[in-house]
């Protein structure tokens, strides 16, 4: 099976994603940052919306559910925590579940930490992952609800996907992530990537999607165990190295 992914910017720095199962023509939107924008894109593409796939409960991810469901009749699929916005998903999913969009199967991957119930959606046949606010290009989500152990385990589940996996992150935070990454890591591969990132942003181009292989090689959060000694942390567990990098990013001004 193959899918077609349509990505577009919305709100101040979110991306909207529409994904179509090519065999049946059925489409899903991943998160609902901006109902008006998503409905306009759907209409322009002429796609029929079957599913809304939520990654987590934040309003810039699930806030447009009701309006899009009312306009399209799509089924809302997401973690239980989405009910915090007032309406539970039609189908509640958690790690290990499978969701079918036409003939395309998405595996639900538990990815809590940014919020406790955050999930990602992985289409193994096409090697495409929608990771919400868990993994960003050169970054990761802030720990609003979870502990570093939980977020580290979530990032490791994503890092275990095939290197060629195309990773759709929910925000364009890459330039600011790149400035932080350069402050903690002097790896040549990172330097080369950040040069490309700054040039792309100057041209107004997106830096999403990324790939698992590229993030494993250059993302300072995934590389935390290797960066920890430079930060004065020796012999600490990996999740503690990760926590130190996350804290440094939270405090970073640049």
Contact partner, 172, from Zn ion, Fe ion, none, Cβ < 5-8 Å per class: none
Q: Which residues 143-162 are close enough to bind Fe ion by CB under 5 A?
A: none
Which of residues 133, 172, 185, 215 is near Fe ion by CB under 5 A?
133
In the bound state with Fe ion, the residue whose beta carbon lies nearer, of 83 and 238, is 83
Cβ 29 to Zn ion shortest distance, Å? 16
In the bound state with Fe ion, the residue whose beta carbon lies nearer, of 61 and 239, is 61
Give CA–CA dist 168/33, Å, rounded.
14
* Given the residues 114, 118, 126, 239, the one annotated as active site: 114
Cβ 32 to Zn ion shortest distance, Å? 13
Q: Is 60 assigned a catalytic role?
A: yes
Give CA–CA dist 83/117, Å, rounded.
11
Of 87-95, 127-135, 183-191, 206-214, the segment contacting Fe ion by CB under 5 A is: 127-135
Q: Is 6 assigned a catalytic role?
A: no
In the bound state with Zn ion, the residue whose beta carbon lies nearer, of 133 and 215, is 133
Rama region for 73: left / alpha / beta (φ>0; ψ in -120 to 50; rest): left
Which of residues 50, 60, 81, 185 is near Fe ion by CB under 5 A?
60
* Given the residues 31, 34, 61, 126, the one annotated as active site: 61
Give CA–CA dist 248/123, Å, rounded.
33
In the bound state with Zn ion, the residue whose beta carbon lies nearer, of 140 and 245, is 140
In the bound state with Zn ion, the residue whose beta carbon lies nearer, of 20 and 58, is 58
Q: Is 118 assigned a catalytic role?
A: no
Q: Answer yes or no whether residue 31 interacts with Fe ion by CB under 5 A.
A: no
Q: Is 114 assigned a catalytic role?
A: yes
Sites of contact with Zn ion (CB under 5 A):
58, 133
Helix orientation angle between 35-45 and 65-72, rounded to the nearest 10 degrees: 30
Cβ 76 to Fe ion shortest distance, Å? 18
236 Cβ neighbours under 8 A, 6+ residues apart = 228, 244
* Given the residues 118, 123, 171, 185, the one annotated as active site: 171
Chain contacts with Fe ion (rule: CB under 5 A): 60, 133
Residues forming the active site: 56, 58, 60-61, 114, 133, 171
């Amino acid at each position: 099976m193959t899918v077609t992914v349509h990505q577009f910017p919305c709100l101040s720095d979110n991306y909207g994603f529409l994904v179509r199962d090519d065999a049946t023509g059925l489409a899903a939107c991943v998160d609902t940052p901006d109902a008006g924008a998503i409905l306009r894109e759907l209409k322009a593409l002429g796609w029929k919306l079957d599913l809304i796939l939520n990654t987590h409960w934040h309003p810039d991810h699930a806030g447009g559910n009701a309006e899009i469901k009312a306009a399209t009749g799509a089924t809302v699929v997401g973690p239980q925590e989405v009910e915090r916005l007032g309406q539970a998903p039609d189908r509640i999913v958690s790690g290990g579940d499978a969701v079918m969009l036409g003939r395309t199967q998405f595996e639900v991957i538990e990815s809590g930490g940014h919020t406790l119930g955050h999930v990602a959606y992985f289409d193994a046949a096409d090697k495409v992952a929608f990771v919400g606010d868990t993994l960003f290009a050169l970054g990761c989500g802030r720990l609003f609800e979870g502990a570093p152990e939980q977020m580290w385990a979530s990032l490791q589940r994503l890092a275990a996907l095939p290197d060629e996996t195309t990773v759709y992150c929910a925000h364009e935070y890459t330039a600011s992530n790149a400035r932080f990454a350069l402050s903690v890591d002097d790896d040549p591969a990172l330097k080369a990537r950040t040069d490309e990132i700054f040039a792309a942003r100057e041209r107004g181009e997106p830096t999403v999607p990324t790939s698992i292989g590229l993030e494993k090689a250059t993302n300072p959060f995934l590389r935390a165990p290797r960066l920890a000694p430079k930060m004065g942390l020796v012999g600490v567990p990996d999740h503690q190295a990760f926590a130190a990098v996350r804290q440094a990013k939270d405090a970073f001004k640049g």
